[in-house]
Amino acid sequence: MQYFSVTEAADSVIIKPDQGKGEKRLKIKLPATVKGIIDTLQARGFEAYAVGGCVRDSILGRVPDDWDITTSARPEQIKEIFRKTVDTGIAHGTVTVLLGSGAHEVTTYRIDGEYEDSRHPKNVTFTGNLREDLRRRDFTINAMAYNEQEGLVDLYGGMEDLQKKKIRCVGDSRERFGEDALRILRAVRFSAQLNFGIEEKTRKAAEEMAASLARISAERISAELLKLLCSGHPDYLRTAYETGITRVILPEFDVLMETPQNNPHHCLNVGEHTLKSLCGIAPDKVLRLTMLLHDMGKPACRTTDGEGLDHFKGHGEVSARMAGNILRRLKLDNDTIRKVTLLVRYHDWRMEPQERTVRRAMHRIGTELFPSLLQVQTADTLAQSTLWREQKLERIRDVAKLCGTILQENQCVSLKDLAVTGKDLMALGMKPGPEIGSLLKQALEHVLDFPEDNTKEYLTEFCQRRI
């Protein structure tokens, strides 16, 4: 067995083989529940290891999202050993074991049969051979296993690839991608999350087989795309473009990469501007999706004047419609679609830093999303040329200050903030119906201009005059 030492540097983790007689075996601190499951299986005479992403992340000094376990025990044997289990994917050998406060998937060593749909094996064969189980996994860095008794089991060069910062398929890349085409996108996603390059043969196979992603469900595509976008390197979407992945899953982005912006306010084409703006905003799903989609309408809106300058009038509205269509195609939830399309629609709204204007903007967009809009506008500005950049940023900062003042003073920006309600109007003799809603909107329109009038006394008189 080869031993490794892991040293944490200021901004990285250094992995190297230990030399000489003073070798120390790599040690991973297992959660108590994971250790408990592994120890119990070993005590019953079975092999058991933590496996996959949890091992990779532990070596890299990252906190694993979850811990998976692989074992030589068959599903029925796992269920006999542990009192509380759930048949998560029993046909493929996966049982979820509930132990203490933990719930962990425990999967029997298996060999996958022939794949017919670029996702599911026709059949699986359980095996007692760990090597065969690790061989079926996607990338070498995800094909390592660990337990406290044996230490690290690395049969396919995962540690070496971690050291080289490379994403490399286990065995033949075309075979791995043929088994599950989503792995093509996953290669780019892991590259973005870990800031790793993609090994040459793996990348070439991804390019050759990108078209097979068309057979993958929208839900699985969107899950991987979101992980890529919310990573530390969302601009690695460029790799997805270069390998032909976006041509299948997001062809609209390819058009952005081919659309110039001959305008002094810009120094990049639309696609590169989009990538830069993604890096300039917090890794939040709504914010990152907004930056990805905020200029989708520019190619359709592009006009060139007599001096050769490009203009994109109305692209916010067109981009919002396209964003809605794209997000529905990717099967995103309605709340995300609503928020993203609203932010995209108004991302280019250059409102003046005046209280009245800001109140009306907050009314239109909502107090929840308004700070997000300012973040979007800031990221958009920082991805443009330096022309009037400081003035643009100053305007946004001034608007943000006014927003803070409006919120601090509890100024009215929505119907729920009005000092009168529908019940108050009915007490004045109005009958239930659309007229009440109409009158409340009139009152709100007045208060948006004159916030000091948002009192029950004033608005009661205001409404009485209009009944």
Question: Do 77 and 130 fall into the same domain?
Answer: yes
pLDDT digits (tens, 9 = 90+) for 437-457: 999 999 999 999 999 999 999
Question: Do 402 and 443 fall into the same domain?
Answer: no
Question: Do 60 and 180 fall into the same domain?
Answer: no
Percent of the chain with pLDDT over 70: 93
**Mean pLDDT in residue range 236-262:** 98
Per the prediction, the chain carries an average pLDDT of 93
Residue 14 pLDDT > 50: no
Residue 103 pLDDT > 70: yes
Question: Do 384 and 355 fall into the same domain?
Answer: yes
Structure-block tokens of residue 456: 């029950």
Within a domain: 111:
yes
Within a domain: 60:
yes
Instruction: Supply the pLDDT for residue 17.
Output: 53
Instruction: Supply the pLDDT for residue 124.
Output: 81
Instruction: Supply the pLDDT for residue 122.
Output: 62
Within a domain: 254:
no
Task: Show which of 190, 224, 249 is a domain's final residue.
Answer: 249
Evaluate whether 113 touches 123 at the Cβ level (below 8 Å): yes
Question: Do 457 and 340 fall into the same domain?
Answer: no
Instruction: Supply the pLDDT for residue 7.
Output: 47
**Mean pLDDT in residue range 382-401:** 98
Per the structure, the complete domain to which residue 441 belongs is given by 415-464
Residue holding tokens 């473009």?
241
Confidence of residue 9 (pLDDT cuts 50, 70, 90): very low
- Statement: the pTM of the whole predicted model exceeds 0.85: yes
Instruction: Supply the pLDDT for residue 114.
Output: 58
Residue 16 pLDDT > 70: no
Of 370 and 16, more confident: 370
Cα–Cα separations (whole angstroms), residue 123 to 110, 120, 453, 455: 10, 8, 72, 71
**Mean pLDDT in residue range 154-178:** 97
Question: Do 212 and 101 fall into the same domain?
Answer: no
pLDDT digits (tens, 9 = 90+) for 106-152: 999 998 755 555 555 666 889 999 999 999 999 999 999 999 999 99
Question: Do 366 and 336 fall into the same domain?
Answer: yes
- Of 342, 390, 344, 388, nearest to 363 (Cα)? 342
How many domains in the chain?
Answer: 4
Instruction: Supply the pLDDT for residue 3.
Output: 43
Question: Do 397 and 433 fall into the same domain?
Answer: no
Evaluate whether 13 touches 60 at the Cβ level (below 8 Å): yes
Cα–Cα separations (whole angstroms), residue 252 to 242, 244, 248, 257, 298: 14, 12, 10, 9, 11
Question: Do 349 and 456 fall into the same domain?
Answer: no
Query: How long, in residues, is the chain?
Result: 467
Instruction: Supply the pLDDT for residue 24.
Output: 61
pLDDT digits (tens, 9 = 90+) for 86-100: 999 888 899 999 998
CA–chain centroid gap for 253, Å, is 17
Within a domain: 259:
no
